[in-house]
């Protein structure tokens, strides 16, 4: 997380934490929990159109003649969870 969008996200996170410093000391609570850190990170980089992306993938997903059924269903099961109601 040192360059590109991940690096920018990290800098923004550190700036936010740094603003909570008191007399040059950052309190431990300013960092938050690891769980909240991971949630914020995932939310920042998730596909904002997961439903539409999943719909498009399903619409293009077809069976190719000669393909084994188990291969087809294994690939189908790897489609995004957004397909599941």
Sorted by where each begins, the domain ranges of the chain are 4-45, 50-83
How many helices (DSSP H) and strands (DSSP E) are in the chain? 4, 0
Give CA–CA dist 63/79, Å, rounded: 14
Digit-by-digit pLDDT tens for the chain (85 residues) are 778 888 899 999 999 999 999 988 999 999 999 999 999 998 888 878 877 887 888 888 888 899 899 998 888 888 766 555 5
Report the DSSP beta bridge partners of residue 41.
none
The set of residues, in sequence order, having a beta carbon less than 8 Å from that of 61 and lying 6+ positions away, is: 75, 76, 79
Q: Are 79 and 61 in contact (CB under 8 A)?
A: yes
Taking Cα atoms as reference points, which of 40, 21, 42, 38 lies closest to residue 30?
21
């Amino acid at each position: 997380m040192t360059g590109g969008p991940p690096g920018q996200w990290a800098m923004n996170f550190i700036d936010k934490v740094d603003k909570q410093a008191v007399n040059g000391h950052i309190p431990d609570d300013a960092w938050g929990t690891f769980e909240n850190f991971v949630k914020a990170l995932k939310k920042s980089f998730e596909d904002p159109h997961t439903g539409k992306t999943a719909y498009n993938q399903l619409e293009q997903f077809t069976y190719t003649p000669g393909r084994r059924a188990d291969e087809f269903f294994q690939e189908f099961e790897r489609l995004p969870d957004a397909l599941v109601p």
